[in-house]
Amino acid sequence: MMVAASLGLLVVLAVQQTWAWQLGQQLGSGESTKAFLTAQSLIEQIAQDAANANPDAIALSGRCYLLPQHDGRLLAYRVKNRQVQRHTLAPHCPERGWQSLSHYHDIAVDELVMQLTPTAAAALLELALRAKSPRDDSYHAFKREVVLHVAR
Protein backbone atom coordinates (compact mmCIF):
# COMPACT_ATOMS: atom_id res chain seq x y z
CA MET A 1 0.00 0.00 0.00
CA MET A 2 2.80 2.43 0.96
CA VAL A 3 4.77 1.49 -2.16
CA ALA A 4 1.77 2.17 -4.38
CA ALA A 5 1.14 5.51 -2.69
CA SER A 6 4.80 6.48 -3.05
CA LEU A 7 4.84 5.55 -6.72
CA GLY A 8 1.62 7.47 -7.27
CA LEU A 9 3.14 10.56 -5.62
CA LEU A 10 6.24 10.28 -7.82
CA VAL A 11 4.09 10.12 -10.96
CA VAL A 12 2.07 13.16 -9.87
CA LEU A 13 5.25 15.12 -9.11
CA ALA A 14 6.78 14.17 -12.46
CA VAL A 15 3.66 15.29 -14.31
CA GLN A 16 3.57 18.58 -12.36
CA GLN A 17 7.23 19.27 -13.06
CA THR A 18 6.84 18.46 -16.75
CA TRP A 19 3.81 20.72 -16.97
CA ALA A 20 5.64 23.54 -15.18
CA TRP A 21 8.68 23.15 -17.44
CA GLN A 22 6.51 23.23 -20.57
CA LEU A 23 4.64 26.27 -19.30
CA GLY A 24 7.95 27.99 -18.61
CA GLN A 25 9.21 27.20 -22.09
CA GLN A 26 6.04 28.60 -23.63
CA LEU A 27 6.14 31.78 -21.57
CA GLY A 28 9.91 32.19 -21.78
CA SER A 29 10.25 32.49 -18.03
CA GLY A 30 12.93 29.97 -17.19
CA GLU A 31 13.88 31.62 -13.91
CA SER A 32 10.27 31.65 -12.73
CA THR A 33 9.92 27.98 -13.64
CA LYS A 34 13.10 27.12 -11.75
CA ALA A 35 11.78 28.98 -8.71
CA PHE A 36 8.41 27.22 -9.03
CA LEU A 37 10.05 23.79 -9.14
CA THR A 38 12.36 24.62 -6.23
CA ALA A 39 9.45 25.80 -4.06
CA GLN A 40 7.41 22.74 -5.03
CA SER A 41 10.30 20.45 -4.13
CA LEU A 42 10.68 22.15 -0.74
CA ILE A 43 7.02 21.78 0.23
CA GLU A 44 7.01 18.13 -0.89
CA GLN A 45 10.11 17.35 1.18
CA ILE A 46 8.60 19.01 4.24
CA ALA A 47 5.31 17.14 3.69
CA GLN A 48 7.17 13.84 3.39
CA ASP A 49 9.00 14.46 6.68
CA ALA A 50 5.77 15.63 8.32
CA ALA A 51 3.96 12.43 7.29
CA ASN A 52 6.13 10.46 9.74
CA ALA A 53 5.80 12.95 12.60
CA ASN A 54 4.31 12.07 15.97
CA PRO A 55 1.37 14.51 16.32
CA ASP A 56 1.51 14.34 20.13
CA ALA A 57 5.09 15.69 20.14
CA ILE A 58 4.91 18.36 17.42
CA ALA A 59 5.78 21.90 18.57
CA LEU A 60 4.85 24.70 16.18
CA SER A 61 5.50 27.80 18.27
CA GLY A 62 8.69 29.78 18.53
CA ARG A 63 11.45 30.28 16.00
CA CYS A 64 11.21 26.86 14.39
CA TYR A 65 8.81 23.97 13.82
CA LEU A 66 9.70 20.76 15.67
CA LEU A 67 8.51 17.54 14.02
CA PRO A 68 9.63 14.56 16.19
CA GLN A 69 9.29 11.35 14.19
CA HIS A 70 7.69 8.06 15.25
CA ASP A 71 11.07 6.34 14.79
CA GLY A 72 12.76 8.66 17.31
CA ARG A 73 14.41 11.09 14.89
CA LEU A 74 14.06 14.76 15.78
CA LEU A 75 13.47 17.07 12.80
CA ALA A 76 13.01 20.82 12.81
CA TYR A 77 12.34 23.40 10.11
CA ARG A 78 12.73 27.15 10.02
CA VAL A 79 13.14 30.05 7.60
CA LYS A 80 16.26 32.14 8.07
CA ASN A 81 17.72 34.65 5.62
CA ARG A 82 14.90 33.77 3.18
CA GLN A 83 16.06 30.14 3.08
CA VAL A 84 14.31 27.00 4.35
CA GLN A 85 16.57 25.21 6.80
CA ARG A 86 16.29 21.76 8.38
CA HIS A 87 17.89 20.34 11.50
CA THR A 88 17.99 16.56 11.97
CA LEU A 89 18.92 16.37 15.68
CA ALA A 90 16.77 19.10 17.19
CA PRO A 91 15.06 18.49 20.56
CA HIS A 92 14.64 22.28 20.64
CA CYS A 93 15.61 25.10 18.27
CA PRO A 94 19.41 25.14 18.45
CA GLU A 95 21.52 27.97 17.04
CA ARG A 96 23.91 25.72 15.10
CA GLY A 97 23.74 22.66 12.89
CA TRP A 98 21.08 23.80 10.40
CA GLN A 99 21.20 22.67 6.77
CA SER A 100 19.85 25.04 4.12
CA LEU A 101 17.51 23.29 1.69
CA SER A 102 17.19 26.34 -0.53
CA HIS A 103 19.24 29.37 -1.50
CA TYR A 104 17.83 32.86 -1.84
CA HIS A 105 19.45 33.25 -5.28
CA ASP A 106 17.17 30.45 -6.55
CA ILE A 107 14.07 31.08 -4.45
CA ALA A 108 13.51 33.65 -1.72
CA VAL A 109 11.23 32.10 0.90
CA ASP A 110 8.94 34.67 2.49
CA GLU A 111 6.98 32.38 4.75
CA LEU A 112 6.64 28.81 5.97
CA VAL A 113 3.56 28.16 8.11
CA MET A 114 2.49 24.96 9.85
CA GLN A 115 -0.79 24.50 11.68
CA LEU A 116 -1.86 21.35 13.54
CA THR A 117 -5.52 20.39 14.04
CA PRO A 118 -5.81 17.35 16.36
CA THR A 119 -8.74 14.92 16.38
CA ALA A 120 -9.43 11.73 18.34
CA ALA A 121 -7.87 9.26 15.89
CA ALA A 122 -5.56 11.44 13.79
CA ALA A 123 -4.33 14.98 13.30
CA LEU A 124 -4.23 17.25 10.27
CA LEU A 125 -1.03 19.20 9.68
CA GLU A 126 -1.42 22.06 7.21
CA LEU A 127 1.73 23.31 5.50
CA ALA A 128 1.97 26.55 3.53
CA LEU A 129 5.00 27.95 1.72
CA ARG A 130 5.19 31.33 0.00
CA ALA A 131 8.27 32.25 -1.98
CA LYS A 132 9.45 34.62 -4.68
CA SER A 133 11.61 34.18 -7.73
CA PRO A 134 14.44 36.66 -7.07
CA ARG A 135 15.02 37.48 -10.74
CA ASP A 136 11.54 38.19 -12.05
CA ASP A 137 9.59 38.90 -8.83
CA SER A 138 6.97 36.21 -9.50
CA TYR A 139 5.43 34.70 -6.37
CA HIS A 140 4.71 31.02 -5.76
CA ALA A 141 2.49 29.65 -3.01
CA PHE A 142 1.92 26.02 -2.09
CA LYS A 143 -0.29 24.38 0.48
CA ARG A 144 -0.26 20.74 1.56
CA GLU A 145 -2.30 18.85 4.12
CA VAL A 146 -0.86 15.80 5.84
CA VAL A 147 -2.92 13.39 7.95
CA LEU A 148 -0.89 12.24 10.94
CA HIS A 149 -1.82 9.06 12.75
CA VAL A 150 -1.44 8.79 16.50
CA ALA A 151 0.97 6.03 17.56
CA ARG A 152 -0.77 3.16 19.29
CA distance 100 to 115: 22
Identify the pLDDT of residue 9: 63
Identify the pLDDT of residue 74: 92
Over residues 97-152, the pLDDT tens digits come to 999 998 888 889 999 999 999 887 789 999 999 998 888 878 889 999 999 987 65
> Which of 133, 134, 136, 115 shows the shortest CA–CA distance to 125?
115
The contacts found for 71-78 with CB under 8 angstroms, 24 or more apart, are 75/49, 77/46, 77/49, 77/112, 77/114, 78/112
pLDDT band, very low/low/confident/very high, at 89 (cuts 50, 70, 90) = confident
pTM for this model (two decimals):
0.75
16-30, 42-56, 80-94: segment of lowest average pLDDT: 16-30
> Which of 51, 53, 31 shows the shortest CA–CA distance to 43?
51
pLDDT band, very low/low/confident/very high, at 38 (cuts 50, 70, 90) = confident
Domain residue limits at 22:
2-149
The total number of structural domains in the chain stands at: 1
pLDDT band, very low/low/confident/very high, at 25 (cuts 50, 70, 90) = low
Identify the pLDDT of residue 92: 84
> Which of 54, 57, 16, 53 shows the shortest CA–CA distance to 36?
16
